[in-house]
């Protein structure tokens, strides 16, 4: 047998450093301090200019530097220690059902900013879930899309209107490789989409011991039009969308089969991947089962998570599209057209369509919402599917979302937690007793760490403004809202999220004069940093963004309101570690969970939020603030008025005075004690450790038991 040819990196790396390649190609590095430090040590400038991308660092670093490092005993000592850690975390025996993993399907994965295959919260949640599954040693595979043009990069034109830029992803520059045997042979599957067969190349991303497979239709075998099918996330029309969802749902099953993986539990993360249940039913019917038997088998092993609290937000298709793309399919299930449509048909208003959430609820034995409140809302919303049950018995539970602590804790905070909580606090992160030791962090140290992270955020913003100024002549008013005039000692409120109108980014501007009084207070000024993208097809969202941008750059706010362009995981990391207050103003109950506030709290940033989603569970009166109008109104305008008034009141009476109440050492003791309460209460409960453990105990293991019971007590 021929030896596989050496990759360019293998040729470049000195033998002693050969395993740097392995390290760069497993995203494990991204949530381990020592390995991040290692890549930083390789070349600090490249670390910054590549936006923390080790694959590019290795490609771009001069060969001499590598040879120097290969002789540097201190570097080598750190390098070996990191490799040992990685081997411990990625090798060895997973748990007892390892041959039959949990398969997790999602339209987006937010793992690292260098791999732009996510748009927001849903993707970051999938990414965090995959990382945690690795940390916990679960047998877990994930499947999604490789979008060549990702979501989009945001650029604002001089009028503040959002432009979407789609820079093509260079697959050679990210931690991504063709799935295969390592000999350069590539794996393909072909999926029937309507009348055509679409070929998909399979890519592999290593996330610790989790494997993520990404499908890519941009291959020679496909017609030019079909090669676009996996180009963009949430782009195109309904017809494009149904084809993508066929690839995701049906293609995922075929990809795993092609790779010889036989999952026992299948987790559908949001309705986009729900066609998976049809393909699996087809397999069972192909083995000789009736459709009803097949359905029972599919249900036993399927878990479905819904994320959408409003009826209009659910993914639906007109029957004409279903006819077009599935008329060859229902005969294979031994179903008539009517029986097939019934699996997904659902009436919203007057219109009956094929609803992906309905399909998933019908075919998944277990379903959950993503916070306690969202659970209630979902049970009410889908009550008509179970008309005989009282609403509280509608079989949709909830697992409140969490965040991956190792990924979202700022360096400076991590050091404090190691020192004062426990050297291996991350290992024991689900122990609330451990977190009580937050009290032992001296106020001075905690405040110092916070100030450090705040300054780091400011310097990052200034650097971005400088670069933009160099590339194009930034007009003065745009410079005004770039953040360079922010006062690092004054209070900073952060608001970064999708510009969907229900998130009400403009709520704080409802009474401009009242806001101005806060912002321009001579002794106790308030500053705000905004960031976020509107969906490229969402004109109301873009208009909202433009309004805010124009307020931010107007001289009357004097540079105290900033807008950071191109919100992504990289920008998010700085903001959730560097502001003082994290503001969230959704129209209740439209925020299913929210996770950015958890990331903030973990770093001692105080939440100021409507009691919606996760915050309704977390808020205890001492770990942040609630914006509570005390009443709900039918008229959204009245609600906005009342909520805005409540927001100003909390800012004026509580937030601002507490922040500026300093002792002789210039430490805001009251504020710091609230920071500690936030860390202590949010850390153990709103982590992916707690979340994945709940999925395991209440969903995956019961599903596994049901599957084995159906199979005469053997794992299929
Ligand atoms: C965490 C995160 C989100 C989720 O934020 P919410 O608005 O709280 O849902 C979205 N986008 C990015 C880039 C994130 O890191």
**Across all residues in the chain, what is the average pLDDT?**
94
Q: Is there a domain that residue 571 lies in?
A: yes
CA–centroid distance, 312 to ligand 1, in Å, is 21
Q: Which of 30, 114, 124 to mutate to test the pocket of ligand 1 (most atoms within 8 A of CB)?
A: 124
CA–centroid distance, 596 to ligand 1, in Å, is 5
Shortest-distance Cα residue to atom 7 of ligand 1: 497
**Same domain (yes/no): 397, 413:** no
Range of the domain at 32: 8-90
Position 1 scores a pLDDT of 44
Contact 38, 78 (CB under 8 A): yes
Contact 19, 70 (CB under 8 A): no
Position 182 scores a pLDDT of 61
Report DSSP letters for 591-654, one per residue. -S---HHHHHHHTTPEEEEES-TTHHHH--SSSEEEE--SS--SSHHHHHHHHHHHHHHHIIII
Residue 96 has pLDDT above 70, yes or no: no
Position 312 scores a pLDDT of 79
Bridge partner list, 625? 608
**Same domain (yes/no): 244, 271:** yes
Burial of 664 (0-12, 13-18, 19+ CB in 10 A): exposed
Residue 136 is part of a domain; what is its CATH number?
Answer: 3.40.50.2000
CA–centroid distance, 680 to ligand 1, in Å, is 22
Shortest-distance Cα residue to atom 9 of ligand 1: 594
Tell me the C-alpha distance between 184 and 78, whole Å.
Answer: 32
User: What is the enclosing helix (H) or strand (E) of 492?
Assistant: strand 491-496
**Model pLDDT for residues 501-544, shown as the tens digit of each residue:** 899 999 999 999 999 999 999 999 999 999 999 999 899 999 99
Q: Is any ligand 1 atom within 6 A of the Cβ of residue 407? A: no
Q: Which two tokens stand for residue 404?
A: 């991956």
**Same domain (yes/no): 382, 440:** no
CA–centroid distance, 123 to ligand 1, in Å, is 9
Q: Is there a domain that residue 390 lies in?
A: yes
Which atom from ligand 1 is nearest to the alpha carbon of 503?
7
CA–centroid distance, 564 to ligand 1, in Å, is 15
CA–centroid distance, 520 to ligand 1, in Å, is 29
Q: Which of 30, 109, 113, 120 to mutate to test the pocket of ligand 1 (most atoms within 8 A of CB)?
A: 120
Contact 126, 145 (CB under 8 A): no
Which atom from ligand 1 is nearest to the alpha carbon of 591?
9
**Same domain (yes/no): 703, 617:** no
CA–centroid distance, 370 to ligand 1, in Å, is 14
Contact 326, 340 (CB under 8 A): yes
Q: Within 10 Å of residue 16's Cβ, how many Cβ atoms?
A: 15
Q: Which residues of 362-390 are buried (b: 16+ CB within 10 A; e: fewer)?
A: bbbbbbbbbbbbbbbbbbebbbeeeeeee
CA–centroid distance, 251 to ligand 1, in Å, is 28
CA–centroid distance, 672 to ligand 1, in Å, is 25
Q: What is the mean pLDDT of residues 103-123?
A: 96
Q: Is any ligand 1 atom within 6 A of the Cβ of residue 124? A: yes
Least confident of 243-247, 258-262, 365-369, 574-578: 258-262
Query: Would you put residue 51 in left (φ > 0), alpha (ψ -120 to 50) or beta?
Result: left
Q: Is there a domain that residue 716 lies in?
A: no
Cα torsion at 44, 49, 52, 54 (round to 10°)? -80
Query: Would you put residue 669 in left (φ > 0), alpha (ψ -120 to 50) or beta?
Result: alpha
Q: Is there a domain that residue 129 lies in?
A: yes
Position 4 scores a pLDDT of 61
Residue 616 has pLDDT above 50, yes or no: yes
Residue 263 has pLDDT above 70, yes or no: yes
Tell me the C-alpha distance between 688 and 699, whole Å.
Answer: 15
Position 190 scores a pLDDT of 95
Which atom from ligand 1 is nearest to the alpha carbon of 571?
13
Tell me the C-alpha distance between 580 and 613, whole Å.
Answer: 21
Q: Is there a domain that residue 376 lies in?
A: yes
Position 183 scores a pLDDT of 63
Residue 95 has pLDDT above 60, yes or no: no
Q: DSSP code of 404? A: -
Bridge partner list, 561? 528
Tell me the C-alpha distance between 98 and 100, whole Å.
Answer: 5
Listed residues 59, 90, 121: the one ending a domain: 90
Task: Supply φ then ψ for residue 385, to 5 degrees.
Answer: -80, -20
How far is it between the farthest Cα atoms of the chain?
80
Residue 278 has pLDDT above 60, yes or no: yes
**Same domain (yes/no): 220, 340:** yes
Q: Which two tokens stand for residue 377?
A: 């809302």
Least confident of 358-362, 374-378, 708-712: 708-712
Task: Supply φ then ψ for residue 343, to 5 degrees.
Answer: -60, -30
Shortest-distance Cα residue to atom 1 of ligand 1: 596
Which atom from ligand 1 is nearest to the alpha carbon of 496?
7
CA–centroid distance, 124 to ligand 1, in Å, is 7
**Same domain (yes/no): 392, 413:** no
Q: Is any ligand 1 atom within 6 A of the Cβ of residue 572? A: yes
Least confident of 8-12, 69-73, 493-497: 8-12
**Same domain (yes/no): 153, 291:** yes
Q: Is there a domain that residue 318 lies in?
A: yes
Q: Is any ligand 1 atom within 6 A of the Cβ of residue 120? A: yes
**Same domain (yes/no): 84, 138:** no
**Model pLDDT for residues 182-214, shown as the tens digit of each residue:** 666 778 899 999 999 999 999 999 999 999 999
Least confident of 58-72, 89-103, 391-405, 536-550: 89-103
Q: Is any ligand 1 atom within 6 A of the Cβ of residue 596? A: yes
Task: Supply φ then ψ for residue 539, to 5 degrees.
Answer: -65, -40
Confidence category of residue 97, pLDDT binned at 50, 70, 90? very low
**Model pLDDT for residues 77-94, shown as the tens digit of each residue:** 999 999 999 999 998 655
**Same domain (yes/no): 127, 77:** no
Position 7 scores a pLDDT of 83
Shortest-distance Cα residue to atom 15 of ligand 1: 569
Cα torsion at 265, 267, 271, 275 (round to 10°)? -40
Which atom from ligand 1 is nearest to the alpha carbon of 119?
11
**Model pLDDT for residues 467-484, shown as the tens digit of each residue:** 888 887 777 788 888 999
Q: Is any ligand 1 atom within 6 A of the Cβ of residue 121? A: yes
Position 514 scores a pLDDT of 97
Q: Is there a domain that residue 124 lies in?
A: yes
Portion of the chain with pLDDT greater than 70, in percent = 97
Closest CA to 461 of 324, 571, 375, 381: 571
**Same domain (yes/no): 523, 591:** yes
**Model pLDDT for residues 618-636, shown as the tens digit of each residue:** 999 999 999 999 999 999 9
Q: Is any ligand 1 atom within 6 A of the Cβ of residue 569? A: yes
Q: Which residues of 503-536 are buried (b: 16+ CB within 10 A; e: fewer)?
A: bbbbbbbbeeebbbebbeeeeebbbbbbbbbbbb
**Same domain (yes/no): 238, 290:** yes
**Model pLDDT for residues 421-476, shown as the tens digit of each residue:** 999 999 999 998 999 999 999 999 999 999 999 999 999 999 999 988 888 777 77
Q: What is the mean pLDDT of residues 650-676?
A: 98
Report DSSP letters for 554-608, one per residue. SGGGTT-EEEESS--HHHHHHHHHH-SEEEE---TT--S---HHHHHHHTTPEEE
Q: Which of 30, 109, 497 to mutate to test the pocket of ligand 1 (most atoms within 8 A of CB)?
A: 497
Listed residues 90, 114, 147: the one ending a domain: 90
Q: Tell me how far the alpha carbon of residue 22 is from its chain's centroid.
A: 25
Contact 528, 496 (CB under 8 A): no
**Model pLDDT for residues 541-593, shown as the tens digit of each residue:** 999 999 999 999 998 998 999 999 999 999 999 999 999 999 999 999 999 99
Position 98 scores a pLDDT of 59
Q: Is there a domain that residue 113 lies in?
A: yes
Least confident of 83-87, 146-150, 354-358: 146-150
- Which whole-number Å values give the CA distances from 633 to 308, 378, 504, 507, 508, in the listed order? 22, 21, 16, 16, 19
Q: Is any ligand 1 atom within 6 A of the Cβ of residue 371? A: no
CA–centroid distance, 598 to ligand 1, in Å, is 10
Q: Is any ligand 1 atom within 6 A of the Cβ of residue 252? A: no
Q: Which two tokens stand for residue 118?
A: 């996510």
Which atom from ligand 1 is nearest to the alpha carbon of 569?
13
CA–centroid distance, 501 to ligand 1, in Å, is 16
Tell me the C-alpha distance between 351 and 192, whole Å.
Answer: 28
Shortest-distance Cα residue to atom 4 of ligand 1: 121
Q: Tell me how far the alpha carbon of residue 193 is from its chain's centroid.
A: 29
Q: What is the mean pLDDT of residues 41-65?
A: 96
**Same domain (yes/no): 440, 385:** no
Helix/strand/coil (H/E/C) assignment for every residue in 417-465: HHHHHCCCCCCCCCCHHHHHHHHHCCHHHHHHHHHHHHHHHHHHHHHHH
Q: Is any ligand 1 atom within 6 A of the Cβ of residue 497? A: yes
Listed residues 58, 90, 122: the one ending a domain: 90
Task: Supply φ then ψ for residue 167, to 5 degrees.
Answer: -70, 130
What is the tally of structural domains in the chain?
A: 3
């Amino acid at each position: 047998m021929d030896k596989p040819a050496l990759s360019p990196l293998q040729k470049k790396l000195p033998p002693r450093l050969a395993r740097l390649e392995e390290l760069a190609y497993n995203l494990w590095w991204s949530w381990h301090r020592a390995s991040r430090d290692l890549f930083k040590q390789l070349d600090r400038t490249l670390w910054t200019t590549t936006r923390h991308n080790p694959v590019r660092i290795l490609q771009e670093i001069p060969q001499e530097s590598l040879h120097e490092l290969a002789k540097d005993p201190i570097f080598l000592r750190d390098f070996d220690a990191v490799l040992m850690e990685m081997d411990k975390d990625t090798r060895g025996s997973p748990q007892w059902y390892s041959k039959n993993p949990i398969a997790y399907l999602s339209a987006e994965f937010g793992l690292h900013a260098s791999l732009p295959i996510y748009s927001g919260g849903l993707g970051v949640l999938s990414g965090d879930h995959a990382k945690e599954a690795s940390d916990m040693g679960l047998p877990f595979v994930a499947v999604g899309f490789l979008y060549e043009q990702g979501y989009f990069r945001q650029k604002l034109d001089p009028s503040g209107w959002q432009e979407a830029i789609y820079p093509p992803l260079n697959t050679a520059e990210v931690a991504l490789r063709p799935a295969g045997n390592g000999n350069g042979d590539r794996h393909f599957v072909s999926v029937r989409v309507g009348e055509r067969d679409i070929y998909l190349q399979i890519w592999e991303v290593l996330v610790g011991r989790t494997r993520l497979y990404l499908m890519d239709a941009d291959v020679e075998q496909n017609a030019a039009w079909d090669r676009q099918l996996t180009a963009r996330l949430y782009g195109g029309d309904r017809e494009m969308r149904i084809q993508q969802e066929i690839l995701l749902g049906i293609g995922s099953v075929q990809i795993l089969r092609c790779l010889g993986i036989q999952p026992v539990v299948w987790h559908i993360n949001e309705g986009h991947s729900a066609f998976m249940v049809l393909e699996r039913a087809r397999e069972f019917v192909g083995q000789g089962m009736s459709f009803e038997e097949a359905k029972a088998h599919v249900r036993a092993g399927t878990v479905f998570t819904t994320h959408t609290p409003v009826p209009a937000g659910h993914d639906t298709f007109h029957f004409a599209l279903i006819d077009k793309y599935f008329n060859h399919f229902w005969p294979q299930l031994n179903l008539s057209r009517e029986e097939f449509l019934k699996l997904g048909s659902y009436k919203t208003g007057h219109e009956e369509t094929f609803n992906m959430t309905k399909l998933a609820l019908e075919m998944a034995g277990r379903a959950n919402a993503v916070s306690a409140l969202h659970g209630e809302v979902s049970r009410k919303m889908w009550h008509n599917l179970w008309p005989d049950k009282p609403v509280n018995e509608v079989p949709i539970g909830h697992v409140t979302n969490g965040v991956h602590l190792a990924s979202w804790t700022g360096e400076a905070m991590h050091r404090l937690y190691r020192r004062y909580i426990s050297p291996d606090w991350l290992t024991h992160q689900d122990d609330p007793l451990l977190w009580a030791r937050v009290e032992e962090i001296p106020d001075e140290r905690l405040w110092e760490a916070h100030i450090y992270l705040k300054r780091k955020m400011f310097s990052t913003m200034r650097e971005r403004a400088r670069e933009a100024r160099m590339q194009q002549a930034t007009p003065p008013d745009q410079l005004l809202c770039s953040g360079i005039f922010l006062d690092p000692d004054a209070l900073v409120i952060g608001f970064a999220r999708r510009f969907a109108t229900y998130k009400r980014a403009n709520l704080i501007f409802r009474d401009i004069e009242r806001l101005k009084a806060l912002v321009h207070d001579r002794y106790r000024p308030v500053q705000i940093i905004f960031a976020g993208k509107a969906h490229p097809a969402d004109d109301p969202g873009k208009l909202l963004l433009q309004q805010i941008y124009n307020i931010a750059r107007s001289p009357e706010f004097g540079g105290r309101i900033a807008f950071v362009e191109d919100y992504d995981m990289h920008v998010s990391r700085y903001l959730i570690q560097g502001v003082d207050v994290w503001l969230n103003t959704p129209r209740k109950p439209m925020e299913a969970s929210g996770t950015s506030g958890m990331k903030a709290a973990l770093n001692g940033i105080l939440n100021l939020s409507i009691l919606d989603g996760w915050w309704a569970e977390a808020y205890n009166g001492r770990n942040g603030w609630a914006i509570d109008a005390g009443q709900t109104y039918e008229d959204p305008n009245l609600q906005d008025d009342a909520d805005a008034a409540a927001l100003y009141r909390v800012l004026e009476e509580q937030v601002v005075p507490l922040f500026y109440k300093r002792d002789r050492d210039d430490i805001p003791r009251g504020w710091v004690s609230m920071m500690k309460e936030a860390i202590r209460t949010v850390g153990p409960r709103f982590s992916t450790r707690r979340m994945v453990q709940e999925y395991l105990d209440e969903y995956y293991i019961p599903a596994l038991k049901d599957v084995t019971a159906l199979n005469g007590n053997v794992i299929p």
